[in-house]
Structure 1
Amino acid sequence: MVKIQVKKTQLPIEIGEHTFYIDTSEKGAEAFWKLVSNYATKSAKITEKLEKEMIKPETADRKAHEELEKVMDQLLGDGAFNKLFKLSPDYTLISEYYMEICSAVGEELGGRKKQFFDKMQRYLEG
């Protein structure tokens, strides 16, 4: 009998006493990259408006904070931002968490594809 281990598509992310899960299935990966791209676009627009003095620094900070809250809740689940803010009540630190999460998920997704292609290559070579 051949026993094949079931592979999980949930990547656990532990921050303090909280564990969050990110879907790394093909559909989850697509949603992740779209979320990251949208957040980067919104952040860039806020920065651009600030640089062109179209908005005040306080407004830029408020909008950036709102976008960070949204992206963290979308990424880790509703209420995630508030849990993290209780641990680290500083938007800069939560931004750092976001960057670390993105890096970890990117490595996981890239590593999984590489492993698949390496296995496939060995299989095809016999």
Structure 2
Amino acid sequence: MVKIQVKTTQLPIEIGEHTFYIDTSEKGAEAFWKLVAGYAEKSSKITKKLEKKQIKPETAKRNAHEALEKVIDDLLGPGAFDKLFELSPEYIFISEYYMEICSAVGEELGGRKKQYFEKMQHYLEG
């Protein structure tokens, strides 16, 4: 009998006592990259407005915090930001968590494709 291990597309992300899951299926990966790009664009706009003195520093900070809260909840699920803020009540720490999450998910998605192509190449070569 041949047993094939069931694979899952849910990547667990553990932060403190909380475990969140990110969908790394093809559809989930597409949504992930879209979310990351949207957050980067929003952050860039806030920074440019601040540099051009179109908004006050307090407004820029508030807008940046709101954008971070939204991207964390969109990425990890509703209420995730509040859970993380409870653990680390500093926006800079949560921003660092976000960057680490993006790095881990990016590595997972890239590594999975590479592993698939290596296995396929090995299979085709016999």
Q: TM-score range by the shorter chain?
A: over 0.9
| Partner SS for 1:8 | coil
Report SS of the residue matched to 2:85.
Answer: helix
Cα distance in 2 for partners of 1:2, 1:85 equals: 46
Q: Distance in 2 between matches of 1:5 and 1:53?
A: 56
1:91-106 matched pairs, under 5 angstroms: 91-106=91-106
Q: Given the two structures, how large is their TM-score scaled by the length of structure 2?
A: 0.99
What residue is the counterpart of 2:115 in the other structure? 115
**How far has the Cα of 1:3 moved from its partner?**
1.3
Q: 2:18 & 2:68 partners in 1: Cα distance? A: 18
- Output the amino acid matched with 2:109: L
Deviation of 1:42 (Å):
0.3
Q: Mapping of 1:24-39 within 5 angstroms?
A: 24-39=24-39
Q: Which runs of 5+ in 2 are unaligned?
A: none
Alpha-carbon offset, residue 13 of structure 1: 0.3
Q: Matched residues, percent identical?
A: 83
TM-score by length of 1: 0.99
- The alpha-carbon deviation at position 2 of structure 1 amounts to 1.7
Q: Distance in 1 between matches of 2:71 and 2:62?
A: 14
CA distance in 2, matches of 1:125, 1:52: 58
Amino acid at match of 1:44: S
Uncovered stretches (5+) of structure 1, i.e. residues with no partner: none
The reply to whether residue 89 of structure 1 matches residue 69 of structure 2 is no
1:20-99 equivalent positions in 2, closer than 5 A: 20-99=20-99
**Alpha-carbon distance between aligned partners in 1 of 2:91 and 2:44, rounded to the nearest angstrom:** 17
CA RMSD of superposed structures (Å): 0.4
Aligned to 1:14: 14
* In structure 2, C-alpha distance between the alignment counterparts of 1:5 and 1:76, rounded to whole Å: 26
